Amino acid sequence: MRQDPDHETRDQLAGIITRAASGEEAALADLDDRFGARLAFGTAGLRGELGAGSNRMNRVLVTQAAAGFAAYLRERSGGATPTVVIGYDGRRNSRVFATDSAEIFAGAGLRAVLLPRLLPTPVLAFAVRHLGADAGVMVTASHNPPNDNGYKVYLGGADEGSQIVAPADAEIAASIQRIADAGSIAALPRSTSYEVAGEDVVDAYVAATAAVAPAPASASSMRWVYTAMHGVGWETFARIVTDAGYPRPAVVGEQLAPDATFRTVSFPNPEEPGAMDLAFARARRTNADFILANDPDADRLAVAIPDDSTPEGWRRLTGNEVGLLLGARAARAAAGTPGAALACSLVSSPGLGAIAAHHGLDFHETLTGFKWISRAPGIVFGFEEALGYLVNPETVRDKDGISAAVAILGLAAEARDRGASIADLLAELGDTYGHFSSGQVSIRVDDLSIIGRVMLALRTLPPVQIAGRPVASAEDLLHAAAGQPSGDVLRYRLDDGSRVIVRPSGTEPKLKVYIDAAGASADEARAAVAEIETGVRELLDERS
CA 109 and chain centroid, separation: 31
Is residue 316 within 8 Å of residue 371, measured between CB atoms?
Answer: no
Q: How far apart are CA 286 and CA 247, in angstroms?
A: 14
Q: What is the 3-state secondary structure (H, E, C) of 519-537?
A: ECCHHHHHHHHHHHHHHHH
- Which long-range contacts (C-beta less than 8 Å, at least 24 apart) are formed by 166-173? 166/43, 168/72, 169/41, 169/42, 169/43, 171/72, 172/41, 172/68, 172/69, 172/72, 173/40, 173/41, 173/42, 173/68
Residue 79 has a pLDDT of 87
How far is the C-alpha of 140 from the C-alpha of 89, rounded, in Å? 6
Q: How many CB atoms lie within 10 A of CB 509?
A: 14
Contact 4, 13 (CB under 8 A): yes
Count of beta carbons in the 10 Å neighbourhood of residue 144:
22
pLDDT of residue 460: 92
Residue 429 near residue 328 (C-beta atoms within 8 A): yes
**345 pairs with which residues across the strands?**
366
Inter-axis angle of helices 401-417 and 121-130, to 10 degrees?
100
DSSP 8-state secondary structure symbol assigned to residue 425: H
Class of domain 218-433 (CATH, top level): alpha beta
Q: Determine the Cα–Cα distance for residues 76 and 70; give it in Å rounded to an integer.
A: 10
Q: Do the first three CATH levels of 7-197 and 435-543 match, i.e. the same topology?
A: no
Catalogue the E-assigned strands of 172-255.
195-196, 224-227, 250-251
Mind listing the pLDDT tens digit of every residue in the chain (544 residues)?
Answer: 999 999 999 999 999 999 999 999 999 999 999 999 999 887 778 999 999 999 999 999 999 999 999 999 999 998 899 999 999 999 999 999 999 999 999 999 999 999 999 999 999 999 999 999 999 999 999 999 999 999 999 999 999 999 999 899 999 999 999 999 999 999 999 999 999 999 999 999 999 999 999 999 889 999 999 999 999 999 999 999 999 999 999 999 999 999 999 999 999 999 999 999 999 999 999 999 999 999 999 999 999 999 999 999 999 999 999 999 999 999 999 999 999 999 999 999 999 999 999 999 999 999 889 999 999 999 999 999 999 999 999 999 999 999 999 999 999 999 999 999 999 999 999 999 999 999 999 888 888 888 999 999 999 999 999 999 999 999 999 876 666 666 899 999 999 999 999 999 876 788 999 999 999 999 999 999 999 999 999 999 888 7
Catalytic residue among 142, 175, 348, 349: 142
Residue spans of the domains in the chain: they are 7-197, 218-433, 435-543
Whether the predicted model's global pTM rises above the 0.75 cut: yes
Contact indicator for 176, 104 with CB cutoff of 8 Å: no
What confidence score (pLDDT) does residue 65 get?
97
- 7-197 architecture in CATH? 3-Layer(aba) Sandwich (3.40)
- Give the CATH class of 435-543: alpha beta
Does residue 184 have an active-site annotation?
no
Residue in 369, 492, 517 with CA at minimum distance from that of residue 436: 517
